[in-house]
Amino acid sequence: MRGGAAAGEKYLSTLSGQVDAATLAEGERRYKELAATTPAKPSLEPERRPPSEANAGTQAGPAARKQRQATAASESGAQRQASAGGGELVQIQRLLTTFGYDPGPADGQLRAKTTNAIRVFQREAGLTVDGRASSELLDYMKKLAGQ
């Protein structure tokens, strides 16, 4: 109800002098039913956790940072190997440029700009969006380009 619970109560009390008791009781019942099922306004505040929970399971210090960087580098390297090879990636980058996307330089390196361009292309083409430069993606792009 617009104006909140206080406005609703005021409105109902105003009406109580104008309507019979049965109608008033039915209105109050409906109001309470709706008020109970109406979800609360979502909070715009970010979820805050105590520092002990926020840092649980994470390591601190330079050694831990180097370990996380090494892990991330090996994971991204594995992702590059699992996707299209260097020559195929260059072709994908060139086709993305031809189609009007900006994948960065056509150098066969899978960087964030290339991944983002692939994601946008996949989304706009109605494909599954995974950001991977695969041989299937290259085949699809070649068909679109008439190659």
Residue bearing the bigger pLDDT, 105 or 19: 105
Span 68-113, pLDDT tens digits: 665 555 444 444 444 566 789 999 999 999 999 999 999 999 899 9
What is the C-alpha separation between 78 and 136, in angstroms, rounded? 18
pLDDT for the residue numbered 1: 46
Tell me how far the alpha carbon of residue 95 is from its chain's centroid.
Answer: 27
* Beta-carbon count within 10 A of 95 CB: 21
pLDDT for the residue numbered 97: 92
What is the C-alpha separation between 88 and 94, in angstroms, rounded? 10
The average pLDDT across 128-143 equals: 91
Would the pTM count as exceeding 0.75?
no
* Beta-carbon count within 10 A of 107 CB: 13
Nearest to 109 by CA among 141, 72, 67, 80: 80
